[in-house]
Chain A
Amino acid sequence: MIEFDNVSLRLSAFALHEVSLTIMAGDYYFIMGPSGAGKTILLEALAGLHIPDEGRILLKGEDITGIPPEMRKIGLVYQDYSLFPHMTVEKNIGFGLRMQGLHHPERKKRVDTLMKKLGVGHLAQRAPLTLSGGEMQRVAIARALAIEPEILLLDEPLSALDPIMRDFFVDELRELHREQGLTIVQVTHERHEALNLGTRMALIRDGRLEQEGAIDDVFVRPRTRTAAEFMGFENIIPGIVSDAGGPDCRFDTGTVSFSCSTKAIKGENGAVCIRADDISVREKTDPGTDRDNTYRGKIVAVNPSGPMVRIDVDIGLNIVMVMSRKTFESRHLKKGSEIVLTVSPDDIYIISTGTPDTTCS
């Protein structure tokens, strides 16, 4: 288990502020956040490449804050793979074993096994700069695995690959995690990578921890507006809880109100979060249910994106929804068309941003 205990770290213009998080053994843990949030610094601090100014980093309960990187046995793969350009693929992979003082025959045996496993055996004598992105990534992972680390750190390992290779490597990383029983900590700003592979995640912004938890929990129940934005909620509308009681509440945005199946406190300031794909167009013949939120509106913008269409609808406030291009065309919709939208109270999530004036049970 890895623990960051109130870790603060200043690096020239950048700083991490009191970051506390827990990574369990065997986790596929994601560190997410916008560019410049401090994701890589956090990863490097875990590798021992930066010593925190304050706080501690614990590994299996033992304080490793002052232990240098060479003593930590934590594998690291950077976004650019950072292969040593003056060494062949074989020597790159064997570098860690050489540092461990392993003699040549044993070293070669282990390197050969790894190269075979990662499918780079035919590249043994090649110079790294002659390899493709995918090959480089395999070599970099093989090199990190050679030291048999318990923890593998991956800094945006898929970002330099084309989309097809990326999907392929997502499967490979899943397999690697399952087979090796490794704890993997991966930095990314791609939601789908975390959703596909991750067990838990931390969301970092401006060097501060926004939220930490199980992937699904952070994805479905973001605690802050930033977390909601990063988790892909297209509609984040500020307002106030106007009525609350039991499991449901009513949220008023000033122009439109929503019925939400969320426990809330009356008078609480906050924002409703609705995913664009949770909003649907109600057929004239569909009576719907009494619980559903139904709004009449006018299409103000249409943005086709591949097989989908993103539509901005004015229902008294701007709301974004998506539908398939096929559905959009079959309904003869266009900019200016009037439509009726519906969204289930179960698909509306409220984030709190302020203390309520009054409370209601």
Chain B
Amino acid sequence: MTSRIKPDLCLISFALVGSTLVILILLALLNITATQLSDIPFLLQVAQDSRVTDSILLTFTAGLNAVIILVLLGTPLAYVLARTHSRFNNIIESIIDIPLVLPHTVAGIMIYLLFMQRGLIGAPLKDVGFIFEDAYPGIVAAMLFVALPFYVDTAREGFEKVPLHLENVARTLGATRFRAFSLVVFPLSIRHILNGCILAWGRAISEFAAVIMIAYYPMVISTLIYYRFTTGGIKESTAIAFLMILASFSVFVLLRLVTRYVGRYDDRV
């Protein structure tokens, strides 16, 4: 009797159903690529426009700035949430996730009310020369707000995955809690931390509504695309969008390559 390997119909049908999502993204990419490659001189002209390159750079830098602040403030918060079991944890986790469920314009209004020159945070900071309205700090504040859950949730998951026993042993060996965190827990969570950074950065640079509420100027790339769409038409805005796709894609591929080789300790056999 010959045995035949039966195809896994469940897995195949799942793959077929799921592939529609991948196809959707690919179609969108192919569509915009085909449009742009049909007029390369115009694309090059847009690419050489300093307002476009400056805007991309501004967006990436502001996103990076937001991520740095998130790492500094969000890492301790994520660790506390991972290592404590207070009844308040659920409430705090829900508060952290609020930016995920809010319409972006609502998030924008909340940011504006808080950081405007008469706002709860904006007013005192204005006195020391820190202005958010139509300024770089406003962009960073809006990006920080919307990207926050992506970083904190991912970092928390990473810390939770580090067995408590490792930390306990480190402490019995003479490490304070901070040293146990910095020498054992943090290095073992580095992949989650980096993934959290990538997700948060991606979320930050893609923000539009929350940013324009507080800082229409200087224009981040989303604002510039919208502005060119309303003033210059679809052709100009599509070219900028295509350049942004190329830039973002390159950065993301690079970051994913880096994280692929960082923090892998379980497969060194």
Contact = CB atoms under 8 A, between A and B. Distances in A.
Contact of B172 (A47, A85, A86, A100): A47
Contact of B265 (A73, A76, A86): A86
A147 B268 contact: no
Interface stretch (A64-72, A156-164, A298-306): A64-72
Given A70-B174, A86-B265, A99-B175, A12 B168 contact: no
Contact of A86 (B173, B179, B187): B187
B260 interface: no
Contacts of B37: none
B266 A69 contact: no
A129 interface: yes
B269 A129 contact: yes
Interface string A101-124: 000000000000000000000000
Contacts of B173: 70, 75, 95-96, 99, 143-144, 146-147
A119 to B, nearest CB: 21
Nearest to B170: A95
A207 to B, nearest CB: 18
Contacts of A330: none
Contacts of B168: 44, 47, 49, 69, 76, 78, 82
Given A82-B165, A84-B184, A129-B268, A12 B172 contact: no
B266 A75 contact: no
Contact of A85 (B85, B174, B266): B266
Contacts of B266: 85, 129
A44 B183 CA distance: 21
A72 B165 contact: no
A348 interface: no
A69 B268 CA distance: 31
Interface string A34-77: 00000000001001110000000000000000001110111110
Given A12-B85, A78-B169, A96 B265 contact: no
Given A12-B85, A80-B165, A86-B265, A70 B188 contact: no
A70 B268 contact: no
Contact of B268 (A84, A99, A130, A146): A130
A218 interface: no
Interface residues of A, number: 31
A315 interface: no
Contacts of B175: 70, 95, 99
Contacts of A70: 171-176
A99 B174 contact: yes
A331 B124 CA distance: 97
A84 B57 CA distance: 40
A90 to B, nearest CB: 15
Contacts of B179: 99
A80 B85 CA distance: 23
Contacts of A85: 188, 265-266
Contacts of A78: 165, 168-169
Interface string B179-210: 10001100110000000000000000000000
B172 A72 contact: yes
Nearest to A155: B165
A76 B166 CA distance: 11
Nearest to B176: A70
Contacts of A73: 174
Interface string A126-154: 01011000000000000110110000010
A153 B269 CA distance: 29
A76 to B, nearest CB: 4
A76 B268 contact: no
A48 B169 CA distance: 11
Interface string A305-333: 00000000000000000000000000000
A256 B175 CA distance: 62
7 contacts: A49-B171, A84-B170, A84-B188, A86-B263, A99-B175, A130-B269, A146-B173
- Nearest 5 interchain pairs by C-beta: A99-B174, A96-B173, A85-B265, A82-B165, A69-B171
Interface of B: 85, 163, 165-166, 168-176, 179, 183-184, 187-188, 263, 265-266, 268-269
Given A48-B172, A95-B173, 7 more contacts: A49-B171, A70-B175, A78-B169, A84-B184, A86-B263, A129-B266, A143-B173
